[in-house]
Structure 1
Amino acid sequence: MPEAPTLAQRGTIERYHEAIARDLGEGAILSDRELMAPYLKEWRDLYRGVTPFVLRPRDTSEVARMVVHAAELGVALVPQGGNTGLVGGQIPHEHGAEVVVSLTRMSRISPVDQEGASVTVEAGAILSDVHEAADAAGLLFPVSLASKGSARIGGLIATNAGGVGVLAYGNMRDQVLGLEVVLPDGRVWNGLRALHKDNVGYDLKHLFIGAEGTLGIVTRAVLKLRPKPHALDVAMAAVADPDAALALLRRVRGALGDALTAYELVPRLGLEVVARHTPDTRRPFSPVPEWAVLVEASTMLPERSMREALEAVLARAYEDGLIADAVISQSLAEARELWRLRELMSEAQSVAGGSIKHDVSVPVAKVPAFLADATAAALSVVPGARPIPFGHLGDGNIHFNVSQPEGADKAEYLSRWEAMNEAVHAVVKRYGGSIAAEHGIGRLKAPLVAGVRDAVELDLMRTLKRALDPAGLMNPGRVLPEG
């Protein structure tokens, strides 16, 4: 059980509260327990933290002043965006000695630079609002994920989020042209450059992308926008197994080239739990196949040629027995219906009881073998458990989630979380993969980092942390293992 703050720590936190109130006013401080509750609970209920109060800055200057006072007094800070993270990095520890800094009030989006294909946004800007701003300017911001209506840009940058468009556009890192960051001593690094080419020294923005707030607080970003596709088609095909899905990927990629923007793998059990969780969703196939793939194609070229290529490659795959059936969207609404099946996959697993989750990646060619071995490993830990692996087959990122056995006790099952992680991650390591593909490390996986990174790499990361945050006050206990 985490220890409560000492008398000295409580005194320090009180002085910090006084300093903020004196400098920024009580309006910057949220201390009502009921109002603070949403900031202290991770949505899967894995973490419930404690904080003396929540700070809610309105601009970069206020963030900097909050950090200056924290550095002077030795108060640890936990930056938080939309609180949609899945590894606990945004939730304070239970000891109550960390102060949450919420960026939600900093949500401004500047006018889109159409000629430069970029937009400058504050860290608290909601992802779906950035999508709308880009769309209104005839452009596209390509990062998209299920929590787009609540996830915020600062958090997506801090975790180097991926989403469904990585195959075509890359992770969040690939969408950032420039950053503004408040450093652990309160200085502001202004790297808000809308340059596509800049080779003056180290590319410092990459230090902070994926650092999960451990090296500084991202306050603004210049995001790269892309041309908006003229046409978009979504198909779902029924396949016998992941090997067939991989073989189809090779064919689709060969036929569509750069027009292939997403390729997602979905298991039968996943489609079934979505149907139970959300009865109004579409049923593309009857009976439900063992596996399905969702294919998205988008292009700047004439629509007909892309659609004909997609229809032709699926028809050939059907004739060759590689797929059992397929449906292709006939409208944008139908495309959204098919995507909804995939986007509800994680949320819907709640109807199957407790779920032990793994966000992992392996080389694309090894995904089928990994799935077979990881399933065997999971069942060796909990016989009767029900793996529901799904995700981005096109880039090798699989959400290997394992639901409890039918009728099992949820709490007892979840108590096997660490044992299950250890077994599945051992398979990931054997296949040369990563235990954190797009959700970050946070608190959940920090103890595992030493087992998957060598001593030199760990030393380099710790050297960076000590150089930028020698007092260890920026999101302590996240990303890097203790020691």
Structure 2
Amino acid sequence: MSLNPADDRIATLIRSKLGDQVLRPVADRYLEEPRGRFAGRAGLLALPRTTEEVSVLVQVASEMRVPVVPYGGGTGLVGGQVMPHGPAPLVISLERMTAIRSVYPTENILIVEAGAILQDVQAAAEAQDRLFPLTLAAQGSCRIGGNLSTNAGGVNVLRYGNARDLCLGLEAVLPSGQIWHGLSRLRKDNTGYDLRNLLIGAEGTLGIITAAALKLFPRPSAIGTAMFQVASPEAAISLLALARDRVGEAVSTFELIHRQGLEFLSEVLPDARQPFETPPEWSVLIELGLATGQSPSDALEDIFVHAQALGLVQDGVIAQSEAQRGELWAVRERIPEANRLIGSVSSHDISIPISEIPEFVRQGEKVISGLGAFRINCFGHLGDGNLHYNVFPPKGQGRSDFEGQSAVVKRAVHDLVHAFDGSVSAEHGVGRMKTDDLERYGDLVKLDAMRAIKAALDPYGIMNPGAVLKA
């Protein structure tokens, strides 16, 4: 990519301070996002090796009033990592900053740089016989800085919380270029405003996270996994309550699966082995992590027996080996892949108060049927109220047949979510895709406070402009 005169001046200044090894040609992968909905642009790409180099880069950008787009693994689904409009930005990728800086097994703390791939962070914890529980489909390529910047969720939120709940301290470069040395290992620290929680979930609009102090947990000695056929979403919620009554906080995963997702697997991924001969209308994937001396199979069987007596479950499969566990998880994990192959008219990452989910599902079916003969695949993390509520064309038709209705479907779903006091962005973030939604549904006082914080920390508006808050 040839540089314009402004880019050339910035590049010269960066090279004078950091040498030739930081700047790289801008490859296409830094300008794309997984769903192909945004095409970004960039004037320069920088790959710093240290926090100090990040600081210099941001200082130069601040002096030259150049936009900065922080880049992690590029796996975000709402366009936060690409900037399609405005002046070509300086893209700062942390992919070289992957060090595991230190481990404190007795404190259950791991300090890592922001460019560390999530799967490598999990492996570093496992090497100390500990667990870092954040688990995502993209864990082989997403990076911990991006996970924190978006407050990522995943399948273990029910037991361990979001990324925010798994972090004790941060090191970050603020929009001025100053380094905040906040890598605290303290679990109690009431010394004023919590900058850590301000930066987590800010999607790079208030600074660049360069390292984090993460919480670790004991590894469960035994894991049990099962898929149960349930009568309805109401029955699924009652089953979750029953399971927690029987085994307490050992329930780490509780995923709701609708028949439509299983039918999509049969339609486009027929090699996926399904546990039931006939796809049930509703089923749940449940996983337990138990302490030494407890049998997960016995615990799951006990839950099933009690649930069956109450009419909550009709059938079930309890994994008897790691291979069977993998097969059950493959069903859940391949549903998004099948969704992509089918091609949605509109996809939604939403959160609903858990007890309201059954009524939301009922009303959602009425709302969508009023718009057309669409297929709905409603699935996701029932235990924390996060649903992936996706709307698809009728069989035999494609997404391109309904391009004009995508916005109408999205508006209808989000209006309904708002009516249920839910959130239109549960775990994917706001990015650039949902800034209008934030303006439409967000609390006005909160939005004013967010704008004031942005203006105070980033007076020149250089940090990821257009993400979260409209530029």
Smaller-chain TM-score range?
Answer: over 0.9
Which residue in the other structure is 2:101 paired with? 110
Q: How does 1:342-421 map to 2 (within 5 A)?
A: 342-381=332-371, 383-421=372-410
Which residue in the other structure is 2:53 paired with? 62
1:439 aligns with 2:433: no
Q: CA deviation at 1:119?
A: 0.6
Q: CA deviation at 1:95?
A: 4.4
Q: CA deviation at 1:147?
A: 0.6
Q: For the residues of structure 2 that align with 1:411 and 1:73, how far apart are their CA atoms?
A: 43
Q: For the residues of structure 2 that align with 1:57 and 1:435, how far apart are their CA atoms?
A: 35
Equivalent of residue 166 in structure 2, options 155, 175, 186: 175
The superposition leaves residues 266-312 of structure 1 with CA deviations (integer Å, 9 ceiling, x where unpaired) of 111212223444444322001111111000111224222x5323211
Q: CA deviation at 1:350?
A: 2.0
Give the letter for the 2:226 counterpart: A
Which residue in the other structure is 1:315 paired with? 305
Q: For the residues of structure 2 that align with 1:298 and 1:401, how far apart are their CA atoms?
A: 30
> How much is the aligned-residue C-alpha RMSD, in angstroms?
1.7
Q: For the residues of structure 1 that align with 2:158 and 2:269, how far apart are their CA atoms?
A: 28
Q: For the residues of structure 2 that align with 1:154 and 1:183, how far apart are their CA atoms?
A: 14
The superposition leaves residues 364-423 of structure 1 with CA deviations (integer Å, 9 ceiling, x where unpaired) of 001111112223223333x12111111011111101111222233423424433221111
SS at match of 2:252: strand
1:241 aligns with 2:241: no
Distance 1:76 1:310, change over 3 A: same
SS at match of 1:144: coil
Q: CA deviation at 1:150?
A: 0.6
Equivalent of residue 131 in structure 1, options 95, 101, 122: 122
Q: For the residues of structure 1 that align with 2:246 and 2:329, how far apart are their CA atoms?
A: 22
Q: CA deviation at 1:205?
A: 0.6
Q: State, as a whole percentage, how many aligned pairs show the same letter.
A: 45
Distance 1:94 1:458, change over 3 A: closer
Give the letter for the 1:386 counterpart: R
Give the letter for the 2:361 counterpart: L
Q: Is the 8 Å Cα contact of residues 268 and 342 (structure 2) preserved in structure 1?
A: no
State the number of aligned residues: 469
Q: Is the 8 Å Cα contact of residues 78 and 92 (structure 1) preserved in structure 2?
A: yes
Q: Is the 8 Å Cα contact of residues 67 and 87 (structure 2) preserved in structure 1?
A: no
Which residue in the other structure is 2:9 paired with? 15
Q: Is the 8 Å Cα contact of residues 102 and 112 (structure 2) preserved in structure 1?
A: no
Q: For the residues of structure 2 that align with 1:111 and 1:414, how far apart are their CA atoms?
A: 50
Q: CA deviation at 1:107?
A: 1.1
Q: How does 1:244-255 map to 2 (within 5 A)?
A: 244-255=235-246
Equivalent of residue 218 in structure 1, options 209, 215, 237: 209
Give the letter for the 2:324 counterpart: E
Which residue in the other structure is 1:120 paired with? 111
Equivalent of residue 27 in structure 1, options 21, 28, 38: 21
Which residue in the other structure is 1:424 paired with? 413
Q: CA deviation at 1:432?
A: 0.7
Q: For the residues of structure 2 that align with 1:175 and 1:320, how far apart are their CA atoms?
A: 36
Distance 1:444 1:333, change over 3 A: same
Task: Report the TM-score when normalising by structure 1.
Answer: 0.94
Equivalent of residue 472 in structure 1, options 439, 461, 465: 461
Q: Is the 8 Å Cα contact of residues 48 and 94 (structure 1) preserved in structure 2?
A: no
Give the letter for the 2:175 counterpart: P
Task: Report the TM-score when normalising by structure 2.
Answer: 0.96
Q: CA deviation at 1:249?
A: 1.7
SS at match of 2:287: strand
Q: Is the 8 Å Cα contact of residues 204 and 464 (structure 2) preserved in structure 1?
A: yes
Q: For the residues of structure 1 that align with 2:382 and 2:429, how far apart are their CA atoms?
A: 19
Distance 1:355 1:301, change over 3 A: farther
Equivalent of residue 41 in structure 2, options 20, 35, 50: 50
- Runs (4+) off by over 4 Å: none
Q: Is the 8 Å Cα contact of residues 31 and 52 (structure 1) preserved in structure 2?
A: no
The superposition leaves residues 165-192 of structure 1 with CA deviations (integer Å, 9 ceiling, x where unpaired) of 1110110000001100100010000001
Q: Is the 8 Å Cα contact of residues 349 and 355 (structure 1) preserved in structure 2?
A: no
SS at match of 1:110: strand
Q: For the residues of structure 2 that align with 1:421 and 1:476, how far apart are their CA atoms?
A: 24
1:300 aligns with 2:301: no
Q: Which moved more, 1:64-73 or 1:85-94?
A: 85-94
1:86 aligns with 2:77: yes
Q: Is the 8 Å Cα contact of residues 255 and 284 (structure 2) preserved in structure 1?
A: yes
Give the letter for the 2:238 counterpart: A
Q: Is the 8 Å Cα contact of residues 243 and 251 (structure 2) preserved in structure 1?
A: yes
The superposition leaves residues 70-106 of structure 1 with CA deviations (integer Å, 9 ceiling, x where unpaired) of 0000000110100000100011224452221111111
Q: For the residues of structure 1 that align with 2:204 and 2:436, how far apart are their CA atoms?
A: 17
Q: For the residues of structure 1 that align with 2:131 and 2:172, how far apart are their CA atoms?
A: 25
Distance 1:454 1:94, change over 3 A: closer
Q: Is the 8 Å Cα contact of residues 275 and 281 (structure 1) preserved in structure 2?
A: yes
Q: Is the 8 Å Cα contact of residues 78 and 90 (structure 1) preserved in structure 2?
A: yes
1:204 aligns with 2:204: no
Q: Is the 8 Å Cα contact of residues 350 and 422 (structure 2) preserved in structure 1?
A: yes
Q: For the residues of structure 2 that align with 1:277 and 1:178, how far apart are their CA atoms?
A: 44
Q: For the residues of structure 1 that align with 2:6 and 2:83, how far apart are their CA atoms?
A: 17
Q: Is the 8 Å Cα contact of residues 246 and 303 (structure 2) preserved in structure 1?
A: yes
Which residue in the other structure is 1:142 paired with? 133
Q: Is the 8 Å Cα contact of residues 153 and 163 (structure 2) preserved in structure 1?
A: yes
Q: How does 1:253-268 map to 2 (within 5 A)?
A: 253-268=244-259
Give the letter for the 2:304 counterpart: L
Q: Is the 8 Å Cα contact of residues 256 and 310 (structure 1) preserved in structure 2?
A: no
Q: For the residues of structure 1 that align with 2:93 and 2:369, how far apart are their CA atoms?
A: 40
SS at match of 1:223: strand
Q: For the residues of structure 2 that align with 1:209 and 1:177, how far apart are their CA atoms?
A: 11
Q: Is the 8 Å Cα contact of residues 448 and 481 (structure 1) preserved in structure 2?
A: no
